[in-house]
Amino acid sequence: MHQVVAKALDVIAVENHEPKYTEAFDAVRAVVIEFGESDLADRLYIDIPESVPFLLVANLFDFLAWQTEDNGAAMTRAVERWLVEGSNTRKVQIALNLEVFPFVDGHQMCQVLSQVAAAIPEVADRCKELITSRQNR
30-41 residue pLDDT tens: 999 999 999 999
Q: What is the DSSP string of 14-59?
A: HHTTSSS-SSHHHHHHHHHHHH-STTHHHHHHHHS-TTS-HHHHHH
Under the banding of pLDDT at 50, 70 and 90, the label for residue 52 is very high
3-state SS assignment for residue 69: coil
What's the rounded Cα separation, in Å, for the pair 54 and 49?
A: 10
Under the banding of pLDDT at 50, 70 and 90, the label for residue 22 is very high
Q: How many CB atoms neighbour CB 106 within 10 A? A: 13
89-130 residue pLDDT tens: 999 999 999 999 899 999 999 999 999 999 999 999 999 999
3-state SS assignment for residue 98: coil
What's the rounded Cα separation, in Å, for the pair 117 and 55?
A: 18
Work out how many domains the chain is built from and give that number: 1
pLDDT at 29 over 80: yes
What is the extent of the structural domain holding 22? Answer: 3-135
Q: What's the pLDDT score for residue 135?
A: 80
* Average pLDDT of the residues of the chain: 95
What's the rounded Cα separation, in Å, for the pair 2 and 87?
A: 25
Residue 2 contacts residue 27 (beta carbons within 8 Å): no
Phi and psi (nearest 5°) for 102? -75, 145
Average pLDDT over residues 20-29: 94
Residue 57, amino acid: V
Average pLDDT over residues 47-61: 97
Percent of the chain exceeding pLDDT 90 equals 87
